[in-house]
Amino acid sequence: MRASLRLAQIGKAFALPPLGKSWPGPGPFLYVKYHRDNYPAGNGALGPDAALLKDRVLGNDFADKDGWNMYMGTSVPGFPAHPHRGMETVTIVRAGMIDHADSTGSGARYAAGDVQWVTAGAGVVHSEMFPLLKTEGGNTLDIYQPWLNLAAEDKDADPEFVMLWDEAIPRVERDGATVQVIAGEFFGVTPPAPPKRSWASRPTSDIAAWVVEMAPGASVTLPPTNTPRTERTVYVHAPAPGPAGPEASDEPVAVNVGGEWVRDWHAVALAPGSGEVVLQNSGRAARVLVLQSVPIGEPVAVRGPFVMNTEQENLDAFAVYRKTKFGGFPHPSDKPTYGDAPRFAVYRGGRREEPGKKFAKAV
């Protein structure tokens, strides 16, 4: 079984790993990936100028050179087609654009404020590209991507994704703080529904995911957890400089979390079954990510992008992937992008969705 955070960390602020490393997560949140890239102006073909790609290891660029990465992309930043099995990705966008395509034939473009929730289940291949649409100025990318485990009985679920559009995600404003309620009720405010086979679809999971933007001096109270077993972690850092937040500053970020001062790029794991917790910001604008859940309570075996209950199940899953490619990748390339298209989603079967509009058939 995956070990919980060390007891020494419970109630004590601890430093988060640097960019490019995974943050620890509570309960079934395996970890949190966080990307903050200050991309340059685009070249008109959704990528950076070719001259800026010199001295980069294209196809495996994670060095944060000049404050940005191409990741697995070669002309457009991002992650071309790759598989997942037995888990979920929850992509929370604060700045930038993401072009998604997957092995079910689905696709989507989503942006700041939107959340995409993917259940990999029995296996999916998907692509996540970061198009640089602005040809003047910069292109900031700022995203969280928690990896959420699935219960054993849901690891064979049909792959599915849902879009939680910015316009449909409720927000709560309190004393200079704005809470985006992505998952988990927040003092009676109900979020959109997660995928059907997600651990979050079970009321007993007590899952919550809230992003709290805090002005200087702001305060907000988090509701108590609903079970004595619920684990909760609070992550504190500065909003991205530039278009997504205030300009860079030497003034430190610090948020008081239930009596413990938590600095920028630090987090605190609260004791299971936390009651109400007051967040109080200090001098500079801050962003707080709150994740919580009851543990699934099953063994966890992680091998790259696959998360099963045993190592043998992972080996079996890789064998299936090598044989079937999880149905293949029915797109023009392994890294599709969508030009200058507005935000949209097209689901398996052709149903098309656009923010603020009713469902329509794909054309």
Best CA proximity match to 273, nearest among 205, 223, 225, 204:
225
Going residue by residue through the chain (363 aa), what tens digit of pLDDT does each one get?
A: 454 445 446 889 998 888 788 999 999 999 999 999 999 999 999 999 999 999 999 999 999 999 999 999 999 999 999 999 999 999 999 999 999 999 999 999 999 999 999 999 999 999 999 999 999 999 999 999 999 999 999 999 999 999 999 999 999 999 999 999 999 999 999 999 999 999 999 999 999 999 999 999 999 999 999 999 999 999 998 886 543 344 455 677 899 999 999 998 999 999 999 999 999 998 789 999 999 999 999 999 999 999 999 999 999 999 999 999 999 999 999 999 999 999 999 999 899 999 966 533 332
H/E element, 38: strand 29-39
For 318, left (φ over 0), alpha (ψ -120 to 50), or beta? Answer: alpha
Instruction: Quote the pLDDT of residue 289.
Output: 97
Three-state secondary-structure class, residue 321: helix
- Backbone phi, psi, residue 178, to 5°: -120, 125
Topology (CATH) of 7-325: Jelly Rolls (2.60.120)
Of how many residues is the chain composed?
363
Domain ranges across the chain: 7-325
User: Cα dihedral angle (118, 317, 154, 269), rounded to 10 degrees?
Assistant: -70
What element of type H or E holds 293? Answer: strand 286-293
Q: CA 68, 73, 76, 81 torsion: positive or negative?
A: negative
Q: What was the pLDDT predicted at 245?
A: 45
Buried b (16+ CB within 10 A) or exposed e, 333-344: eebbbbeeeebb
Tokens of 26: 């509570």
What is the enclosing helix (H) or strand (E) of 324?
helix 311-324
| Phi/psi at 78 (5° precision) | 140, -160
**Which pLDDT belongs to residue 20?**
80
Query: Measured between alpha carbons, how far is 47 from 53 in angstroms, rounded to an integer?
Result: 10
What's the CA gap between 216 and 176, in Å, rounded? 8
State the pLDDT at residue 238.
85
Long-range contacts of 321-326 (CB under 8 A, 24+ apart): 321/83, 321/85, 321/123, 324/123, 325/83, 325/103, 325/125, 326/83, 326/85, 326/103, 326/122, 326/123, 326/124, 326/125, 326/159
State residue 252's pLDDT score: 77
Determine the pLDDT at residue 311.
Answer: 97
pLDDT of residue 104: 96
pTM value is 0.94
Query: Of 46, 44, 68, which is closest to residue 56 (Cα–Cα)?
Result: 68
